[in-house]
């Protein structure tokens, strides 16, 4: 009897926890409350569940489109920061360059990481955020103006 | 056991040949993914003169996933709970495969030097730390004496 009540309470509380959980807010009170009625293992599961929602990998298309470093420009004496193998130790090195920060990694290593995350392992730069730096906005406005006044 | 990635071998070699001051990490002879770790309490902190035992395990997914680390020695610290689990961002959401065993252990040593009661794991300790910092530090010092005493 008592265990059923407890289970109900736990279920209700988890629903509350999921509703109130806001990554921006200080969840101290919520966690304090949780610690009073929920086992540490379950708390960790909930917390990790919340975290895993935040972590989003890059699309396979994005990963496949990463620029490959031309063979002649690969720093053969440097190592991949993920597997620690020298780029030059591979007879046919495949090295990818991340778009904003220009860090180099083995294609295989960085593909695996980016399938689950969207940050550069070295500088935490978000790699797949679209930047519009290359689009000529002045031209776009010009065209709109033409539309208005023509 | 699956073969050990070269990266783990390289890290282990460097941990032994070029150890971090105040930190030791020794792989278990039967399982090279399991390390026995000791961290000296940082000077000037309530953990000074203490030697803390930890265990570190490299999961199969390492380095795509963070090492699992926990304190074996009892410690009074707002970010370490009674099971020895550590609240440290790089061990959870902020893990990066460019980090390594060495940097993780350095971060834990830094956490001992500067506890962060505003991001607590052990809520009772954190509350104590915020309300009565001097008292909490005294208790941390007592626990260090009691549980993390240097073996001669």
Q: What does the mean pLDDT of chain B come to?
A: 93
Instruction: Over range A100-112, report the average pLDDT.
Output: 94
Token match 């252990």: residue? B105
Tokens linked to B56: 């570190």
Contacts of B85 in chain A (CB under 8 A): 40, 44
Does B123 sit within 8 Å of A124, measured CB to CB? no
Does B120 sit within 8 Å of A113, measured CB to CB? no
Catalytic annotation present for B3: no
B78 touches chain A (CB under 8 A): no
A23 touches chain B (CB under 8 A): no
What would the pLDDT profile of B10-65 be if each residue is shown by its tens digit?
999 999 999 999 999 999 999 999 999 999 999 999 999 999 999 999 999 999 99
Token match 């002879």: residue? B29
Give the three-class secondary structure for B91. Answer: helix
Does A122 sit within 8 Å of B96, measured CB to CB? yes
Helix H segments across A1-150? 2-20, 28-37, 40-54, 60-64, 107-114, 137-149
Cβ pair B93, B46 in contact under 8 A? no
Cβ pair B59, B68 in contact under 8 A? yes
- Interface ipTM: 0.84
- Distance in angstroms (rounded) separating the CA atoms of residues A40 and A30: 14
């Amino acid at each position: 009897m008592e265990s059923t009540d407890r289970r109900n309470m736990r279920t209700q509380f988890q629903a509350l926890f999921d509703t109130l959980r806001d990554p921006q807010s200080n969840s101290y009170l919520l966690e304090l409350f949780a610690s009073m009625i929920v086992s540490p293992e379950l708390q960790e599961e909930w917390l990790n569940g919340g975290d895993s929602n935040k972590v989003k990998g890059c699309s396979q298309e994005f990963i496949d489109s990463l620029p490959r470093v031309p063979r002649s420009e690969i720093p053969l004496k440097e190592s991949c920061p993920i597997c620690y193998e020298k780029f030059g130790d591979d007879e046919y090195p495949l090295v990818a360059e991340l778009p904003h920060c220009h860090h180099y990694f083995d294609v295989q290593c960085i593909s695996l990481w980016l399938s689950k995350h969207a940050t550069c392992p070295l500088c935490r730069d978000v790699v797949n955020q679209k930047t519009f730096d290359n689009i000529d906005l002045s031209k776009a406005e010009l065209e709109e103006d033409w539309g208005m006044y023509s | 056991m699956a073969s050990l990635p070269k990266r783990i071998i390289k890290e282990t070699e460097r941990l032994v040949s070029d150890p971090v001051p105040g930190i030791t990490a020794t792989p278990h002879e039967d399982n090279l993914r399991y390390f026995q770790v000791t961290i000296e309490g940082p000077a000037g902190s309530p953990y000074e003169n203490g030697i803390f035992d930890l265990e570190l395990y490299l999961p199969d997914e390492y380095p795509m996933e963070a090492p699992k680390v926990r304190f074996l020695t009892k410690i009074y610290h707002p970010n370490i709970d009674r099971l020895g689990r550590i609240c440290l961002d790089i061990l959870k959401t902020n893990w990066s495969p460019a980090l390594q065993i060495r940097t993780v252990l350095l971060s834990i040593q830094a956490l001992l030097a500067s506890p962060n009661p505003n991001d607590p794991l052990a809520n009772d300790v954190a509350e104590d730390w915020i309300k009565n910092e001097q008292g909490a530090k005294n208790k941390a010092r007592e626990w260090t004496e009691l549980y993390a005493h240097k073996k001669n």
